[in-house]
Chain A
Amino acid sequence: MTDPDPRLLSMLVCPVTKGPLIYDRDTQELRSPRAHLAFPVRDGIPIMLPEEARRLDE
């Protein structure tokens, strides 16, 4: 359970855009390219709250 389950990732959408998310293993983040946000994954637990997300540079 260190990495989120691939099945979960296929079910998840960005809470802001409802668009797809891409898992970045190196940074342990779920990236929403359209929202320019990265949602942290801490100890295998995705934190899907906009206020916890990191803003991605253009």
Chain B
Amino acid sequence: MSDVLQDDPGPIHRGRTGSQPRSALDADAVRAAYRRWASIYDVVFGGISAFGRKRAVTAANALPGERVLEVGVGTGLALPHYAPSKRITGIDLSEDMLARARQRVVQRQLGNIDDLAVMDAEATTFETASFDIAVAMFVASVVPNPRRLLAELKRVVKPGGHILFVNHFLATSGPRLAVERGMARASRSLGWHPDFAVDALLPPEDLVRATLLPVPPAGLFTLVTLPHGGSMQSETYRDA
């Protein structure tokens, strides 16, 4: 199963297999991976990703609007960095990770975290236009269908709002490309895709509107800021 795409990614992806991750991660595999990871996640992943996380939250803090949705909030590593003026709702597929996030909110007395809920990021249960900003850190490459994630975030973010992604995107050339192609085979146990390319997430019309900013160390991660235009035709996702 690891070598077949579970969901048909739709016509936009056909004929563009080069940008598709090589193996699909289903929700159960992701959940199982993160259940194993929950206890050591902060130590192993917290360190290398801290800079990207901080950059994304700093960017979110500087944007207008109060209501922030953090998608894939995990153990809540980013939560203490939000400005007090922002009100945060965090969702994650892993109840184990969220339990840790909740501990963090209580221990650090974070008064601006409104809620945490277990949800599927591709099919949230929020009303349309509930948020000013959506922040998805290290999420785009673990969901089964990144384009559906994008469409869902466009639905729940108000027109004029912003959608931020921080992710590791596949190197387009050089030695990192070879290493990441090799790592892709292990993605089921890693819980993420090392061979995830930016155009698997953003269609060309969004890519031209987005700001892509490499984040240290060594530009391993990229901060993507997508202004949400609102009334554009391309903002609906259609299943094939």
Interface residues of A (CB under 8 A from B): 1, 4-5, 7-8, 11-15, 42-49, 52
Contacts and interface: CB of A to CB of B under 8 A. Distances in A.
A1 B105 contact: yes
Interface string B131-145: 000000000000000
A15 B118 CA distance: 12
B95 interface: yes
B127 A11 contact: yes
A8 B125 contact: no
B186 interface: no
Contacts of B123: 15
A15 B125 CA distance: 5
A45 B116 contact: yes
Contacts of A14: 125
Q: Which of B124, B125, B126, B130 has the most CB of A within 10 A?
A: B125
Indicate the size class of the contact surface on chain B: 20 to 34
Contacts of A5: 114-115
Nearest to B116: A45
Nearest to B93: A49
Contact of A42 (B95, B106, B114, B130): B95
Contacts of B124: 48
Given A1-B105, A43-B99, A48 B119 contact: yes
Contacts of B106: 1
A44 B237 CA distance: 32
Given A13-B127, A15-B123, A7 B102 contact: no
A44 B102 contact: yes
Nearest to B130: A11
B119 A45 contact: no
Contacts of A12: 117, 125-127
Given A12-B125, A15-B125, A48 B117 contact: yes
Nearest to A4: B115
A47 B15 CA distance: 37
Given A5-B114, A11-B130, A48 B105 contact: no
Given A5-B114, A15-B125, 20 more contacts: A1-B105, A1-B106, A4-B115, A5-B115, A7-B114, A8-B89, A11-B126, A12-B117, A13-B126, A15-B119, A43-B102, A45-B102, A45-B117, A45-B118, A46-B117, A46-B118, A47-B117, A48-B117, A48-B120, A49-B119
A47 B118 contact: yes
Contacts of A49: 118-120
Contacts of B99: 43, 45
A7 B117 CA distance: 13
A18 to B, nearest CB: 8
